[in-house]
Structure 1
């Protein structure tokens, strides 16, 4: 049986990246662009880069820890396979509707982060049968040589589900998150789960070494690339503006390094902030589904108060959407809405967390 205290950092850090994720999704509905020369807008977007990396990495870690709790690889594999397919189904139906409020789910099909997580879990269900060392070594290889996957001929449009090679995927599906190299990140997180089971002094020492090594490598290699780019953009912006779709090696070093460094601190974190973040992190899927619905509904209300129109027609292809510049929200309004939404989400997640823990006999709760 896993000691709950040993995984406190997972709940807390996962909750933290989910809070950051809400900022980015409110930005989508506010019409504020994803970055740009304005420092406030640039860093509003940049800070949210940690979200998907942490989300995928800790999904792998949670899979490992759950497997240790089960002591049955077959049961873990079946769970990952069925949960993965469930996530794909949710992305194509309920989550798609919450993004757009469009009942015609075939007019715009999104392969978003939950889609990617689902297929990565399906693949991980197969990978868990491999020797543990093979899993984490393979994860590093996938991340390190990911550009090789882009050498597939552009005519193979279906390969866009795995790695971006051309403009579009078949079936009118808009691919936001590809499977490669994210499956490598999830497998790396799976390997990280074993590290978390070490004695605290050794665990913390390894987390610091791995995390700081990734940060230093990013700063050195990223600085070289940023200097080569040149141009009028400030050096810091060039350094931090790393490729997210698909995530480059520098992007993953930039985002995963600090997360791993923070694990020892998160293990010891106490107080109200730690409790709030852990509450979010214990029910990640419930938070994700709820926050999309709440953000979209709130955006319509804010637009109506500001303009007399909900502007719903601009959100039919969310998160690929935007507002005309005169209708965009000012940045302070984004953060005011963010605070109110997080308060509501905390109350909802607190209720659901209690309900889930008091009804452990209900198997379906493991899937939400």
Structure 2
């Protein structure tokens, strides 16, 4: 049996914080577009027939955020578990997972909608991470190799369900959507309250399980050069698998690639893979570069990398805060641009009429301003967490 000392990893790993910080910064771009772009409520930025190159890129680049964030959540769960007994690690993951589900329902939904009556509950990535943590907490007594196999089965195999009709019975059909196929599944809770399920749980659980297993390469006793070789290998294999599956165009995505009589549209169609739920092609496309990033940046230490790492060190704090900041700015611009109280109530986002919005340059300016304004709060909270040991800090 390896000792706790040989299994434990460094307190903070710069490449992980850098990657997490980078995706947190990019993630804010997508939410800024949702709130402020003139076509966000009326168009599909990924439709090759109607989009533009810059609009497609603005949405497509944010595809990398959720799978990398979920993967790193699994990786961090492994590293944190090395400082606890198996029973403690299991209990912590289950409690933190349920806590995240509660936060998604109560805090994130309010930040997204600003609807104090919670008429529309929105279940997205924090919901999926929460339940995936609960499942990881239940599975944590298994070896990391077994958890890896379960994760690979979920990631590689869940697209098989695309070839079978969904169950028609109401309870089983809804359960299948929640676990495997959810995309915009709206379930009425009453005449006035709805819940929108946008992230199917188990495909994201598979990504988290893979992250948990890969974290074994970050043990102190593991050779850094061997870790780098492993990350490079699976990074390039993932990218090659994405390209091969996309060219074959049979398996790995519920929306096959479309051929157009236009090379630019064909290029957009090639990269227009399905995020809801995360298809195998989508997962390979996004995680492949993430593995390479981790491999090539582990020893990088520059001023820009330290800035990015600040956001990655306190991702949950940043994630919650940026929604409330974006929506507060939305309210200000809502009234400045001439809308009145009669226009406030909208579904799903209050203060967000379909006709409201700006062009992309303005969206990018707002995004940069929001990210920059959150730097010092994140830096302060990072230092606070380093100097304090209150139990609740493990949940934030």
Structure-1 residue corresponding to 2:120: 108
Q: Alpha-carbon deviation of 1:96?
A: 1.1
Distance 1:199 1:168, change over 3 A: same
Instruction: Note the C-alpha offset of 1:5.
Output: 7.0
Alignment of 1:1-368 (within 5 A): 1=5, 2-4=8-10, 7-31=13-37, 32-33=39-40, 34-35=44-45, 36=47, 37-70=51-84, 72-105=85-118, 107-149=119-161, 151=164, 152-155=166-169, 156=172, 157-164=174-181, 167-169=185-187, 171=189, 172-197=194-219, 198-225=222-249, 229-232=258-261, 234-307=265-338, 309=340, 313=344, 316-318=347-349, 323-325=353-355, 327-360=356-389, 362-368=390-396
TM-score (norm 1): 0.92
In 2: Cα distance, 1:311 partner to 1:206 partner: 58
Q: How far does residue 154 in structure 1 lie from its aligned partner after superposition?
A: 3.0
Q: CA deviation at 1:322?
A: 6.2
The offset of 1:164, in angstroms, is 2.1
Q: Where in structure 1 do 4 or more consecutive aligned residues deviate above 6 Å?
A: none
Change (3 A) 1:3 1:120: closer
Give the SS at the match of 2:103. helix
Whether the aligned pair in 2 keeps the contact of 1:211 and 1:261 (CA below 8 Å) is: yes
SS in 2 for 1:268: coil
1:38–1:96 Cα change, 3 Å: same
How far 1:11 moved relative to its partner?
A: 1.1
Preserved contact between residue 29 and residue 299 of structure 1 (Cα < 8 Å): yes
The structural deviation recorded for 1:217 is 1.5
Offset at residue 312 of structure 1 (A): 6.7
TM superposition score normalised by structure 2: 0.86
Offset, 1:307: 3.6
Question: Which whole-Å CA distance do the structure 1 matches of 2:368 and 2:123 have between them?
Answer: 28
Contact conserved, 1:102 with 1:316, CA < 8 A, in 2?
A: no
Alpha-carbon distance between aligned partners in 1 of 2:55 and 2:17, rounded to the nearest angstrom? 28
Aligned length: 363
Unaligned residue ranges in structure 2 (runs of 5+): 250-254
Name structure 1 gaps, 5 residues minimum. none
Whether the 8 Å contact between 1:116 and 1:177 is mirrored in structure 2 is: yes
